[in-house]
Amino acid sequence: MKSDKPDSPGQQAIGEIAPKLAELTDDVLFGDVWERPQLSKRDRSLITCAALVAMGKTEQLTFHFPRAIENGVTEEELVELITHLAFYAGWPSAMSAAVRAKELLAKK
């Protein structure tokens, strides 16, 4: 039975093809892990963005850069994060993230 509440971003993105993964994303990742009080959402966003940049997962930045800004991270901090990681995660990962950041931040 379909709920009256709007689909979550996870449901919209993958709910049709991978409903259990969407459910786990909503309930466990964002419903539990992101709500734990030991780290602020701002800190979690910085950590998540850093991990994605380091791994070269720039497609995921489409969701996480705007979320980071909503959580109090500034555009300048995101760019600095990328610059800093160039020396730890590799130049290609940083360059790819910088190009993605340019696209995402230009839309604002």
At 87, list the tokens: 């020396």
Following DSSP, what letter does each residue of 34-102 receive, concatenated? GG-TTS-HHHHHHHHHHHHHHHT-GGGHHHHHHHHHHTT--HHHHHHHHHHHHHHH-HHHHHHHHHHHH
This prediction has a pTM of 0.88
Q: Is the pLDDT of residue 100 over 80?
A: yes
64, 45 Cβ separation under 8 angstroms = yes
Q: Which residue has the tokens 């994060």?
A: 81
According to the model, what pLDDT value does residue 12 have?
Answer: 87
Q: List the chain domain ranges.
A: 9-38, 40-108
71, 33 Cβ separation under 8 angstroms = no
* SS3 label, residue 6: coil
- Provide, rounded to the nearest whole percent, the portion of the chain with pLDDT above 90: 83
According to the model, what pLDDT value does residue 9 have?
Answer: 80
At 89, list the tokens: 């995660």
63, 45 Cβ separation under 8 angstroms = no
Quote the CATH superfamily of domain 40-108: AhpD-like (1.20.1290.10)
